[in-house]
Chain A
Amino acid sequence: MSATLTVDDPTLLGFAEEVGETGPVAIVGGQTRWDIGGESAGEPRLLRAPEGIVDYKPEEMTVQVRAGTTVADLHVALAEKGQRTALPDRGGTVGGALAVGENDIRALGRGRVRESLLQVRYVSAEGRIVSSGGPTVKNVSGFDLPRLMVGSLGTLGCIAEVILRTNPIPAVSRWLHADRVDAGTTFDGLLHPSAVLTDGSGTWVQLEGHGADVDQQASILQTLGSFTEVDGPPVLPEHRWSLSPSEAGAFPASDGDLAFVAAIGLGLVFADAPQPLRRLDPAVTLINERMKQNFDPTGRLNPGRDAGRK
């Protein structure tokens, strides 16, 4: 092992020491999704991940950032160079957004959270700093721990620092809205819109790109209905449902007066009632349990939470 691989950054070492080797711990981000994945148990010590941007390389479209940085602060810094990331910006932290793994409702335009993580550094249950992935935009060197960390709710490791893929903010972004148009037909008529949302009566579309392209797509919209310019998406109901794109397009499956906003082509739905708990195949649950056992034998990382109960 070459000496340069050992992490000697005092901030990360300090965080590893805080996490330590014993006793239940949980990382607190912006607490915007604090209750997801079941009740916290065992009164864990609550810690915060380090903060700050370590290295931003706009010309590589990558940014190295501490997990405790807020997504908002990160995006302000990136916007200065005309870039952004796939992470949703709803008041949370980089580490929280990755640990939760939920996509932005405009993911068709800005990418999926799980594809934006290039390298992760986390503190293990044994208090060790573990790195996986790499700083380049393409990489298949070894097993893919970054993918494992996204959506793991901090139950396998405490995310300390990451390298994220950034992408350019398009020259133009417009939201348009119309009543009484079919959202599915609208989606099919466009070439990769950034978002097509419907609440069952109205349809919202986000178009992004070069001005002329956006104008061209907007003129297609005018052939489908009387779309008018709006400021942004509608207010989203509280509960998040994960469905296939075809199910989301036909939401709600049964009659009822559920208020909802469905993201067409993506499969996300926000509704005012929670999604019935989905059941995992027992053989898959077994791998999940073994994974947890292998990474956190004493169950000290974010006890009570379960990525299978999101």
Chain B
Amino acid sequence: MVLSKLRELAGGSKDESSGDPFVDALRNALSADRVKYDGAHRSLHSHDASVFDGGNSGPVVYPETTAEVQAVVCLANEHQRNVVPRGAGTGLAGGAIPLGVPVVVAVTKMNAILEVDEANSIAWVEPGVINLDLTRHLAPLGYHFAPDPSSQQVCTVGGNVANNSGGPHCLAYGVTNAHVMAMEIVLPSGDAVMLGGLDAEPQGFDLRGVFVGSEGTLGIVTKIAVRITKNRPAVRTLLMAFDDVRDAANTVSDVIADGIVPAAMEVMDKAITAAVENYVGAGYPTDAAAVLLAEVDGLDSGVDIDADRIAEIGRANNATDVRLAGSDEERMLLWKGRKTAFGAVAQIAPDYYLHDTVVPRSALADVLDQIYAISDKYELLIMNVFHAGDGNLHPLIVFDGRDEGVLDRVHAAGGEIITASLDAGGVLSGEHGIGVEKQKYMDRMFTDDDLDHQNRLRQAFDPGCRTNPGKVIPSGHSCADIQSLRSVPKEVWG
């Protein structure tokens, strides 16, 4: 994927001298081999996993220490250049797309798991640690890192923090924000500070909480104390099949209404289930209109009670098949199917656009109906695989970018999905963030006053708007961003 390509390139390409004093200064501060500015590097780092073009990367640097990150930020300030932090580049909202020819700070070499502190139930990690590597490291100790995005084999913990990422198991355990205790940040000024703390209630404003989910606009995180979660001794995973996706959606909201908060509740519709089955053979029924994967964990007696009750609710909602995973292997296979859903899509069409909105759980069935109508209207295949337990929809539009005019239809359909979600009392994004993707919809959810206050928060960290400028807040509401984007020296990297 993106990361492997990146690694390959890191060793491969030859740099040419640009004669730019900023690059020379960066090379002095780091080392020449960790400051890249050749076309291949700049082009690769001008994109992330979203469909957005329009990025234009300046030099790409690979710091190895906090002091090096500070040096880069200070040099950028001195040379009046913007800074964009970057992890694995798997973001789907264009958060890591460089605007205004910034220096791209790729933290992938800062990938050490520094310490596991069981007495405080935390681990100190560097931002470039891959999400799944952390959980693998914790497994022998009986712990895991709870946020488990589908991209967990490649995305970084720093990226998770910046996007406040979620995953199937965040239903009961909470998204990334609930799992970050403290962070070392290199501020836009170049100072390194600790936000939050291991203590129960750190004093001052909750800057730690504010930083999580700020999409790389408030500084660069260089060290993180993440909460580690004890593995539960008992787990039950149920697979339920339905003839109507509405029944699956209603089961989800009835389970919550019944007072059960499962560890995970995920729904896949017929099209995506078929693709996944074809891809990994996870044992999903391919004739069903929807499958619901529900997992409960805890102690033996309780999980049996909850699993029985969920099965009962499913049957009351016309489940045609209810199956309890009989072994750990079967359970793992069911999850493997869910987590490789996006990979499976590649077999169907070369391109996809993955949306991300949240609606009240009781509105899931109705909004899904609208999404299928939008699919018909624009003659686009839209598959649905989503974190149903939180009402977090992920309509996946699959298409072939070579088809004339298809992108216009994809964007129009996406716009209607967003509108349908907001009209149902939902929100713009559950986990992918705003980035550049949803800036233009921000004023559909927030008033001018609301956006003005978001901007005030941002500017308390970054008065000059030099860190990841042009993101999240629509440009009309963030003058400083526009200035910093305009102030790029014209002569370099046009």
Contact = CB atoms under 8 A, between A and B. Distances in A.
* 6 smallest beta-carbon distances between A and B, as pairs: A147-B209, A212-B301, A267-B200, A59-B257, A244-B198, A134-B427
A245 B120 contact: yes
A137 B121 CA distance: 25
Interface string A124-154: 1000111110111111111111011011100
Nearest to B166: A138
Interface stretch (B172-180, B269-277, B324-332): B172-180
B472 interface: yes
B461 A308 contact: no
B122 to A, nearest CB: 9
B251 interface: no
A134 B178 CA distance: 17
B453 A217 contact: no
A280 B210 contact: no
A168 B259 CA distance: 5
A239 interface: no
A128 B448 CA distance: 11
Interface of B: 117, 119-121, 163-164, 166, 170, 174-175, 177-178, 187, 189, 191, 193-195, 197-207, 209-210, 212-214, 230, 232-233, 253, 256-257, 259-261, 298-302, 305-306, 358-362, 387, 390-392, 425-434, 438, 442-451, 453-454, 456-461, 463, 472-473
A133 B11 CA distance: 43
A5 B210 contact: no
A1 B477 CA distance: 12
A54 B476 CA distance: 33
A1 B429 CA distance: 18
Interface stretch (A196-204, A226-234, A283-291): A283-291
Contacts of A60: 256, 360-362
B359 to A, nearest CB: 7
Contacts of B187: 283, 287
Interface string A263-284: 1011110000000001011011
Given A143-B472, A308-B205, 13 more contacts: A58-B257, A82-B259, A114-B206, A124-B453, A138-B431, A139-B429, A140-B175, A142-B445, A142-B473, A147-B209, A168-B260, A209-B302, A291-B205
A213 B259 contact: no
Contact of B210 (A6, A143, A263): A143
A142 B460 contact: no
A72 interface: no
A137 B364 CA distance: 14
A288 B256 contact: no
Most buried by A among B197, B198, B212, B449: B449
Given A5-B447, A246-B119, A294-B456, A140 B213 contact: yes
Nearest to A105: B200
Nearest to A280: B204
Given A168-B261, A209-B298, A213-B302, A142 B446 contact: yes
Given A131-B446, A191-B232, A217-B299, A115 B178 contact: yes
Nearest to A153: B205
A56 interface: no
Contacts of B430: 136, 138-140
Given A59-B257, A167-B261, A284-B193, A137 B390 contact: yes
A134 B458 CA distance: 19
A307 interface: yes
Contacts of B119: 245-246, 249
A310 B203 contact: yes
A144 B180 CA distance: 15
A143 B217 CA distance: 10
